[in-house]
Chain A
């Protein structure tokens, strides 16, 4: 079946503009994660949605970052008033939560490369 998809694949924006990044998880997956991957910084957790529970926003770097997940499916990550340090690859992952063998693995999307000029 279809994997996790993200759009756009590349986004170039001017400093100070707002951007929206979209994630389409695997159908039926209850867990959805956003990460940021910067050169030399590895994988940085941003936000986690699990079913109808309140999202874990502990990784959002500032109040310019927000995310929502509509209908338990598609998620949008919004960055307001973008700064050059926001330039990175933004990854989305989804998971079914639990299987008989333990917690399910995360399935990652291809990422959105954001460049702030």
Chain B
């Protein structure tokens, strides 16, 4: 069964410091991975997906199949990055998308 693990419930960093939100997944095939974000009082929304290989709001994430990881990174945290971040995995066919339990990022001014 597919599984997504986000080991940190809360990550606090200072403004300007690098950020890494960890995501590990369990799936033997070729997964599709996503990061979703929920800012305060806003809807949960897609941040980025590994297929598009793009940088959104300065965030990037690289799929590492060897380590089964899809960590989200940003070199310099901004206060507006404070939000709840969820990693999600899709394993193909009619399978549902599986979300991790989320990491709350708190950027300290």
Question: Interface residues, chain A, CB within 8 Å of chain B?
Answer: 3, 33, 35, 40-43, 45, 48, 50, 53, 56, 91, 93, 95, 101-103, 105-106, 108-111
Which single member of A43, A50, A108 contacts B101 (CB below 8 Å)? Answer: A43
29 A-B pairs with CB atoms under 8 Å apart are A3-B43, A35-B99, A41-B101, A42-B84, A42-B86, A42-B99, A42-B100, A42-B102, A43-B100, A43-B101, A45-B96, A45-B99, A48-B96, A50-B94, A50-B96, A91-B44, A93-B44, A101-B51, A101-B52, A102-B32, A103-B32, A103-B90, A105-B34, A105-B46, A105-B49, A106-B46, A108-B44, A108-B45, A111-B43
Question: Interface residues, chain B, CB within 8 Å of chain A?
Answer: 6, 9, 32, 34, 36, 43-46, 49, 51-52, 84, 86, 90, 94, 96-102
Complex CA gap A116/B61 in Å reads 39
Report the minimal beta-carbon distance from A89 to chain B, rounded to whole angstroms.
Answer: 10
**List of B residues within 8 angstroms of A105 by Cβ:** 34, 46, 49
- CB-CB nearest 10 A-B residue pairs: A42-B101, A42-B102, A105-B46, A48-B96, A108-B44, A43-B99, A108-B43, A103-B90, A102-B51, A50-B94
Nearest chain B residue, comparing its CB with the CB of A41 = B101
Report the minimal beta-carbon distance from B7 to chain A, rounded to whole angstroms.
Answer: 12
Number of A-B contacts (CB under 8 A): 51
Knowing A45-B98, A106-B97, the reply to whether A40 touches B9 (Cβ < 8 A) is yes
**List of B residues within 8 angstroms of A35 by Cβ:** 99
Complex CA gap A109/B45 in Å reads 10
